[in-house]
Amino acid sequence: MKELLKKRKINKKSLPADRQSGAAMLVFIVFFLFISLAIIFGLVSPSIREFKNANMNLDSKKSFFLAESGLEDAFYRLSKNKQIGENETIILNSNPVNTTITTLLGNLKEIVSFADVSSYQRKISLTAQAGDGVVFKYGTQAGQGGFVFHNNSYVTGSVYSNGNIVGSNGAYITGDAFVAGATGSISNMRIGYGGTGDANSHNITDSTITGNIYCQTGSGNNKPCDTSKDDPLAQDLPISDDNISKWKADATAGGTTNGNVIISTPTTIGPRKIIGNLTIDSTLTIANTIYVTGNIIINIGKTVKLDSSYGATSGIIISDGYIIINNNVIFEDSGTAGSYILFLSNSTCDASISGSPCNGNNATEVSNNSTISIVNAQKGTVYFSNNARVKEAVGNKIELKQNVGISYGSGLINVNFTSGPSGSWGIEGWKEK
C-alpha cells in the first residue's frame, strides 16, 4: 500500500514536466511549420511571378503576330485587287484583329492593324505605294551605242554613256560627261559649255572642257589629262526585261484588239494589247498600260494624256516597233504633279545601220517640246530631229540632228508606274505604333 502511494506521488510530481515538454514540442512544430511555409512561399512566389510574366509575354507576342497577320492579309488583298473594305475585322484563334486602310497623298495607302489578346494590345502600320518603281540615275543616258552629236547640237544637263560620245563642230554639253570603260572616248566636244562641267573618259581628244578633264590618254584638248581617277564604270540601263514582260502581260490582261487602230475621235484605252499599229490622230487618254506589237505614230498637234486615276503615278505605252512623236504634240499628266508618260520602244531599230528592221526609222524619233514625256529605247536609237524638252531620255544610242538641242527636267530619280488592271503596290514603310 505504501509502495502504491509512493508511485502515485511520483507520477503526480512528473505531470507538470511532461506538460511543459509537450508544449515546447508544439511550439517548435508550429515554428518549424511557419519557417517551412515561409521558405516554400519564398521559393514558389518568384516561380509564380515568372510564370505570370511568361504568360503575359506570350499573350503580347500572340497579339503582335496576330496584328502582323491582319496586316499581311490586308496588303495581300490590296495588292491582288481582292475585295477589302476600309475597316475589316477577322478572327484568328478566337481573337479579333482589326485593319483600317487610309488613302494618303501621293498615291499612298496606310494600313493599320490592331490586335488584342487577353487585353494585351499591339498595333502595326504599313505604308504602301502604288506602282512599279524604276530608278533613273541620269537625265540622259546611253548604252553601248553611245551619243552622236551633229553640228551645233547640244544637251542641256549632264550625260552618262556606256559607249563613246562623238561630237561635231559646235556640239556641246552644259554639264558633266561620263563615258564608261577602258576603251571609252569623248571626241570633238565642248563639255561644261555655258556652265560648269567635268569630262570623265579613258580617252579624250580635240575637246574643250570648262571643269576638270579626267582621262588616261588624250590630245588636242584645252588642258592636260588628270589621271588621278579610274575610268567610269558601265551603268545598267534603268528598265529591265522583267519590267517590260510584266507590263506587256498587264496590258494583255485587259483584252486584245486585232488589227491596226486609228484614234480619230477622243478615245480612252487601257489596259489593252493591240496586234498591229497605233496611229493617234485625236486625243488619246491612257487609262492603263497599252502594248502595241507594231508601230506608234503620234501626228502633229495631237494630245496624249493620263487619266486622272493615275494620281502621282505614271503611265506606259510600249511598242515592239518604232515610235514617232511629231511636232507640237501635247502631253498632259493626270492632274497630279509627279505623273509622266513613258514611251518605250522595245525594238533594235537604228536608221544608220543597213538592214535595220524599221525601214529607215529609228526606235524612237522625237520632234516635240514636253516635260511630261519619258522616252526609252534601250535596244535601239533615240533620235531627236527637233528641239525637245523631255523628262528623261534613255537609249542604247542617242543621236541629235544638227542644230537640235535637248534638255530635261531636273530632280527625277524614282518614278512609280501603275500598270495592269489593278496596278501594283510596293511597301514604303513598316513600323509598330
More confident residue, 405 or 16: 405
Is residue 305 scored above 50 in pLDDT? yes
Residue 402 DSSP class: T
All three cell numbers of 67:
496584328
Q: What is the pLDDT of residues 356-375, one digit of tens each?
A: 788 889 999 998 766 678 89
pLDDT surpasses 90 at 380: yes
- Pairing relationship of beta strands 278-280 and 261-263 according to DSSP bridges: parallel
Lowest mean pLDDT segment, chosen from 129-143, 207-221, 418-432: 418-432
List phi, psi (to 5°) of 211: -95, -135
* pLDDT at residue 12 is higher than 60: no
The predicted model scores a pTM of: 0.70
> What CA–CA distance (Å, rounded) separates 43 from 51?
13
Q: How confident is the model over 168-178, as a mean pLDDT?
A: 93
pLDDT of residue 426: 59
Beta strand 341-345 with 159-161: parallel, antiparallel or unpaired?
unpaired
pLDDT on residue 51: 55
**Residues of the chain with pLDDT > 70: what percent?**
77
Is 60 exceeded by the pLDDT of residue 417?
Answer: no
Choose the weakest-confidence range: 11-20, 104-113, 192-201: 11-20
* pLDDT (0 to 100) of residue 216: 97
Q: What is the dihedral of CA 305, 309, 311, 316, to 10 degrees?
A: -50
Neighbours of 192 (CB within 10 A): 22
Which is more confidently placed, 92 or 326? 326
Banded pLDDT at 412 (limits 50, 70, 90): very low
Q: Give the whole-angstrom CA distance, residue 202 versus residue 246.
A: 37
| 230 CB-near residues (< 8 Å, 6+ apart) | none
List the one residue out of 8, 127, 128 whose CA is nearest residue 79: 128
User: pLDDT band for position 422 (50/70/90)?
Assistant: very low
